[in-house]
């Protein structure tokens, strides 16, 4: 049969159609999207980097350590939220996703689209933190030659976030979404080595172990290695490896969960 | 780009032995750990261009069957094809040739009415240049031209249903599945939906609809399959189903001034009359007879009335009872509540 021949380009087009819809909707709601994305990291940066610095509670170099961490945080978090929250609502109440599940596209590819879309929002949310950092902080001393590697890390961090969002979005029932977000999101927020360098936790070993389980740690640490190598950091290859592993693990579990929810 | 256009088996209408529009063979679907299957060995085939009704009480397995055919429910065993494509082995191919109007509105509320149509077309690879024109055409046809920029939240039930039908047609499907298309609609909206279905069938689209509304099935469907407990109980044209009913047409007569026993005897000897029953209560002033007919009640009426006149009786009331699809339905599926 000629079926497999036509399926290839057809599915590619359907994939772009579904992704295009998500991007177009984000474009329409751009104002609210950008304010959601910026509010939390902006205040974190302002209070910890500027206010506490001027009051003398933190050393002047702290902001340098914090900014890459906030980039990492946003890449992962914005992606998690962009994927998870709409999926919980779609699968449980509105069923709005059904029209896309009925597109000539394999259900797995619809799941992949959700990851890619979440990741693109995460990546964007992370990149807009760069100008914010330059505006809020007096000075940003980055090693610019580290930017390409930093970009790779951000892409992987966003993809891992999108995949983790798929896991949450397909596993959690809407009645429990508040509890799960409180129990999962808050710990993730503070165990991602965003606000401190991972290697200097050696006196808090148990906390270091917990941080090692958070994928954000590897984005934060990798970014520090690339952009602010003076701060102690994990080796780049380890960060890459850990992020690829998180993408694969969350991706596999998330796609499986998605197919289970999509098909009866 | 041109591969898409060659995928449609366009010559099928001319080939008499082409695959049926929809075929279900020994289909079984068992959900999770449930002991009783929702669909239990169902088989039927729908011809191209036909309007096919799946009629059954709530929970009979209609929606599950449509779910399997529209690739949203995975079958336990058996075969299900749409336009000759096995929905289990090639769901992506099947989705390209089928359209779905679900039981519950699932419009995309992040998009306006027209956006729902245009993006649906994009998912289905309709070339960009055609999407807008097609959307405007369908909005017009569904009486929604003024609602193009409206959010689905602000549409009435009937408008939303029309928009969903329009969406299902955007990619020019060969088979359109409508699951309970007029549940919850007012009579005007219902009639509009019915007219569109008839129109679609006339244009060559095969329509499969599920309903528990007898009138809807009798009016729209060329053939009706009656389903209960996941099994097919009967399959035929609505009129043939009614004709095969063991129950029969009746003539109810209210008469005065006759010797009931004599009249009953005479009526019983008439051709076309199968039974005569005296339904009058003991204290009734008039006699009430129910005459059962072999064929249509209308055909038996003249001789019956003549016999009554011969007996010197006066008829004060005549009521003809023709069996309907509802009688067939109740006869097959029972009176128990679901």
Give the closest-approach CA distance of A108 to chain B in angstroms.
11
Average pLDDT (B40-59) is 90
Phi and psi at residue B202, to the nearest 5°: -65, -30
Which of A118-122, A258-262, B328-332 shows the lowest mean pLDDT across its residues?
A: B328-332
Predicted pLDDT of residue A9: 55
Average pLDDT, chain B: 84
Average pLDDT (B305-314) is 84
**Between B15 and B190, residue with greater pLDDT:** B190
Question: Residue B119 corresponds to which tokens in the numbers above?
Answer: 């993006």
B122/A20 CB distance under 8 A: yes
Nearest CA in chain B to A27: B110
Predicted pLDDT of residue B178: 92
Number of H helices, E strands in chain B: 12, 14
Show residues of chain A in contact with B1, CB under 8 Å.
9
Domain that residue A183 falls in? 3-262
CB distance from A187 to chain B under 8 Å? no
Predicted pLDDT of residue B335: 61
CB distance from A110 to chain B under 8 Å? no
CB distance from A129 to chain B under 8 Å? no
The model's pLDDT over B172-186, given as tens digits with 9 standing for 90+, comes to 899 999 998 887 788
**Per-residue pLDDT band at B337 (split at 50, 70, 90):** low
Domain chopping of chain B, boundaries: 3-243, 250-322
A95/B102 CB distance under 8 A: yes
The model's pLDDT over B1-12, given as tens digits with 9 standing for 90+, comes to 334 443 444 444
Percent of chain B at pLDDT above 70?
Answer: 91
Superfamily of domain B3-243: P-loop containing nucleotide triphosphate hydrolases (3.40.50.300)
Predicted pLDDT of residue B246: 57
Q: How many domains does chain A have?
A: 1
C-alpha span between B25 and B27 (Å, rounded): 5
**Between B221 and B248, residue with greater pLDDT:** B221
Partner residue opposite B72 with nearest CB, options A13, A96, A263: A263
Enumerate the H helices of B124-171 as residue ranges.
128-141, 157-169
Question: Which of B34, B116, B119, B173 to mutate: most A Cβ within 10 Å?
Answer: B119
Q: Which residue has the tokens 């569904």?
A: B142
User: Parallel, antiparallel, or unpaired: how do β-strands B206-211 and B51-55 relate?
Assistant: parallel
3-class SS at B290?
A: strand
Strand order, beta sheet including B51-55:
B98-101, B175-179, B206-211, B51-55, B223-228, B231-236
Average pLDDT (B121-134) is 91
Average pLDDT (B128-147) is 91
Class of domain B250-322 as given by CATH: alpha beta
C-alpha span between B26 and B40 (Å, rounded): 8
Predicted pLDDT of residue B86: 93
pTM for the whole structure: 0.83
C-alpha span between B123 and A21 (Å, rounded): 9
Hey, which residues 37-96 in chain B have their CB within 8 Å of chain A? Answer: 64, 67, 70-74, 85, 90-93, 95-96
The model's pLDDT over A24-56, given as tens digits with 9 standing for 90+, comes to 999 998 999 898 888 888 888 889 888 988 898
The model's pLDDT over A193-251, given as tens digits with 9 standing for 90+, comes to 999 999 999 899 999 999 999 999 999 999 999 999 888 899 999 999 999 999 999 99
Which of A83-97, A154-168, B293-307 shows the lowest mean pLDDT across its residues?
A: B293-307
Q: Could you tell me which of B216, B240, B209 has the C-alpha nearest to residue B328?
A: B240
Predicted pLDDT of residue B250: 81
Distance of CA A67 to the CA centre of its chain: 16
For the ranges A36-40, B35-39, B49-53, the one whose mean pLDDT is highest: B49-53
């Amino acid at each position: 049969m000629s079926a497999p021949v036509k399926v290839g380009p057809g599915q590619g087009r359907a994939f772009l159609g579904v992704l295009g819809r998500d991007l177009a909707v984000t474009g329409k709601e751009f104002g609210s999207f950008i304010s959601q994305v910026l509010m939390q990291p902006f205040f974190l940066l302002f209070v910890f980097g500027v206010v506490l610095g001027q009051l003398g509670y933190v050393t002047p170099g702290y902001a340098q350590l914090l900014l890459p961490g906030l980039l990492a945080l946003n890449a992962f978090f914005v992606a998690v939220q962009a994927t998870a929250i709409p999926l919980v609502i779609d699968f449980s109440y509105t069923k709005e996703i059904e029209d896309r599940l009925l597109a000539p596209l394999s259900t797995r590819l619809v799941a992949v689209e959700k990851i890619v879309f979440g990741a693109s929002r995460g990546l964007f949310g992370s990149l807009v933190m760069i100008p914010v950092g330059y505006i809020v902080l007096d000075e940003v001393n980055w090693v610019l030659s580290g930017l390409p590697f930093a970009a790779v890390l951000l892409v992987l961090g966003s993809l891992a976030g999108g995949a983790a969002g798929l896991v949450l979005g397909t596993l959690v029932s809407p009645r429990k979404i508040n509890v799960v977000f409180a129990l999962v999101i808050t710990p993730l927020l503070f165990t991602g080595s965003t606000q401190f360098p991972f290697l200097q936790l050696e006196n808090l070993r148990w906390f270091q172990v917990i941080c090692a389980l958070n994928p954000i740690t590897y984005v934060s640490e990798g970014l520090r290695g690339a952009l602010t190598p003076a701060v102690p950091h994990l080796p780049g290859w380890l960060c890459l490896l850990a992020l690829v592993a998180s993408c694969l693990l969350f991706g596999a579990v998330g796609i499986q969960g998605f197919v289970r929810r999509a098909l009866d | 780009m041109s591969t898409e256009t060659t995928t449609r088996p366009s010559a099928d209408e001319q080939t008499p032995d082409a695959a049926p529009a929809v075929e279900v063979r020994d289909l079984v679907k068992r959900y999770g750990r449930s002991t009783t299957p929702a669909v239990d060995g169902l088989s039927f085939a729908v011809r191209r261009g036909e309007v096919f009704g799946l009629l059954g009480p709530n929970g009979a397995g209609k929606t599950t069957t449509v779910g399997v055919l529209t690739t949203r429910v995975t079958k336990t065993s058996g075969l299900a094809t749409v336009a000759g494509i096995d929905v289990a082995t090639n769901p992506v191919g099947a989705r390209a040739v089928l359209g779905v109007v679900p039981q519950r509105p699932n419009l995309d509320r992040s998009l306006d009415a027209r956006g729902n149509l245009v993006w649906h077309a994009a998912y289905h690879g309709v070339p960009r240049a055609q999407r807008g024109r097609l959307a405007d055409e369908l909005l017009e046809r569904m009486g929604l031209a003024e609602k193009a920029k409206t959010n689905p939240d602000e549409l009435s039930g009937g408008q939303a249903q029309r928009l969903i039908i329009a969406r299902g047609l955007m990619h020019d499907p060969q088979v359109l599945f409508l699951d309970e298309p007029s549940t919850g609609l007012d009579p005007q909206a219902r009639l509009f939906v019915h007219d569109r279905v008839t129109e679609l069938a006339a244009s060559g689209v095969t329509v499969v609809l599920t309903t528990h509304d007898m009138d809807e099935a009798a009016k729209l469907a060329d053939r009706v399959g009656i389903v209960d407990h996941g099994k097919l109980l009967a399959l035929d044209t609505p009129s043939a189903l009614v004709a095969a009913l063991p129950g029969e047409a009746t003539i109810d007569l209210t008469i005065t001034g006759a010797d009931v026993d004599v009249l009953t005897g005479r009526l019983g000897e008439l051709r076309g009359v199968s039974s005569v029953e005296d339904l009058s209560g003991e204290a009734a002033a008039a006699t009430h007879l129910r005459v059962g007919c072999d064929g249509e009640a209308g055909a038996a009426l003249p001789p019956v009335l003549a016999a009554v006149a011969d007996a010197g009786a006066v008829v004060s009331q005549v009521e003809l009872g023709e069996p309907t699809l509802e009688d067939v339905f109740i006869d097959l599926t029972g009176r128990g509540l679901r």
